[in-house]
Chains A and B, each alone.
Chain A
Amino acid sequence: MTAESPMRKGRPKWRTVVPAALLFFAALVVWEVIVRAFEVPAYILPSPTEILTELIAEGRSLTTDLGWTMLEAVLGFLAGSSAAFLAAVIFVHVPIVERAAFPWAIVLQTVPIVAIAPLLTIWFGFTLVPKVVIAAIICFFPVLVNTTRGLRSVSGEALELMSVLSARRSSIFWRLRIPSSLPYVFAGLRVAATLSVIGAIVAEFTGSDRGIGYVIVQAAYRIDTRLMFAGIALSSLGGILFFNIISWLEKAAIRWPDARMEDQ
């Protein structure tokens, strides 16, 4: 149906969580064993326990950096997603705007984010702005595409029903299009949530004095592989956390059981 399935079936939690957690720990154990058995130097590949030690030692400053990165990601997410939602609403109601603007949205999507980041750093310096803008740009497209599709997911018969009731456009929008679009919108938001963290870190690479991206770049100069891995682990954790918050919001917003409107 969609690239992102709009709704996922509920299943007992432990049945999905336990196997995944077991695989994760098994991989860590194999990693640890390989590093120790072959005496791999720490600057090439530190073992999981070394990374954990580093995380604990640098915990305080790393958490502050993660805080900055997440702040940039969340602000970018909010800005990019709201802009995309608005654009989708306009696209659906004024097709000429969509024909004019959609090709450029695709072009914007194909411009490598890494290539824009230094430019934004020149314009806005070592401030929050370049990071938020990059995160917003990277969030824009998935939310735009999914929301447009969601607002259009309304069946012809549902629109005829509204017509039989001679419903106003605002009525059709709020009572039919918006609720129909929610599963699609959240599919887009889930993608955007993870992307926004990536966007913020990429922007930090090119010009910043704080944030996980900054930590990783600095550690790379010093070939401090342990710190790099600690940064990678923390930023993944941030992305996963953000993703789960959006999933939780989705569950709170979409309470009805899955039933396509065309269903018999």
Chain B
Amino acid sequence: MRFGGEQPVRALRDITLQIPDGEFTAIVGPSGCGKSTLLRIVAGLLEPTEGTVSVRGKTPDQARRDVEFGFVFQSPVLFPWLRALGNVLLPDRILGDRNPAHGSNMDELARRLLAQLGLAGFEGHYPGQMSGGMRQRVALARALIYQPSTLLMDEPFGALDEFTRDRLNLQLVEVWSNSGTTVLFVTHSIQEAIYLADRVVVLSARPGRISRIAAVPFGRPRPLAIRYEPDFASLTGELRSLLEEDPDTTDGMVT
């Protein structure tokens, strides 16, 4: 896989991955291992130089045009001139008839999503009046409003403090379990990956390769405290040692 620029960088190689509908898959790896690139290839935002991706039988580009994807970025990417509610409704304004949920009461749906994410009463706030965690929740609601079949998340909580992050993890799992959406969640935190996902894909350093696909053995719902249990800790340690074997992965190792 290569992309433009004067010196093409081989960001990924030999990625073979099958993701069942409705599954929560986390991708962990050191910084620069091509996690974000992988996500953008799946979303049809980047073309792979080699290989194919199939999303529910379609090419990524076709799937993108059919609005199969919700995308949550590392930063919230809210429009500062729209209030929280306006930001959540933005996809509906852009999609119009192409929004599968269009025609039903979108306003109502947007308010319900915001309430589920703990933002009831903040519908009229501008992004400039909200904290980082609140903005990222608005971004999540914006990605879910048109009920995409696949939710792609690119280190969405990486810039938040630990408490905010824990709360958002809980809310994300709750919203996801009500939606039936397939989630592909990129993070550099092994702990977060295991806590959230059904399966964790560990990528090695550049060019990113799959070094392990681990099924997470814990049932749901998972209390936050599960992260301190021995089984959880040993799985975390196991995946971490995979990353540490790699000589080039000394940076970007965050729990």
Contacts and interface: CB of A to CB of B under 8 A. Distances in A.
B3 to A, nearest CB: 13
Given A163-B45, A164-B45, A257 B73 contact: no
For B71, B75, B80, B135, which residue has the most chain A Cβ atoms within 10 angstroms? B80
A264 B126 contact: no
B127 A263 contact: yes
Contacts of B73: 157, 160-161
A261 B78 contact: yes
Contacts of B43: 160, 164
Interface stretch (A126-134, A165-173, A216-224): A165-173
Interface in B78-117: 78-82, 90-91, 93-95, 98
B171 to A, nearest CB: 18
B132 interface: yes
A160 B70 CA distance: 11
B77 A165 contact: no
A255 B79 CA distance: 13
Interface in A114-155: 155
A20 interface: no
B212 interface: no
Interface residues of A, number: 27
Contacts of B91: 165
B80 A261 contact: yes
**Contact-residue size bin, chain B (C-beta under 8 Å from the other chain):** 20 to 34
- Residue in A164, A257, A261 whose Cβ sees the most chain B Cβ within 10 Å: A164
Given A256-B128, A257-B129, A259-B127, A162 B94 contact: yes
B67 A165 contact: yes
Contacts of A254: 81
A4 interface: no
Given A155-B77, A158-B77, A165 B94 contact: yes
A251 interface: no
B77 A166 contact: no
A166 to B, nearest CB: 5
A261 B69 CA distance: 21
A150 B224 CA distance: 44
A259 B128 contact: yes
B95 A165 contact: yes
A93 interface: no
A161 B69 contact: no
Contacts of A176: 79
A44 to B, nearest CB: 54
Contact of B94 (A175, A256, A264): A175
Contact of B77 (A157, A179, A256): A157
7 contacts: A155-B75, A155-B77, A160-B40, A165-B91, A256-B126, A257-B80, A261-B77
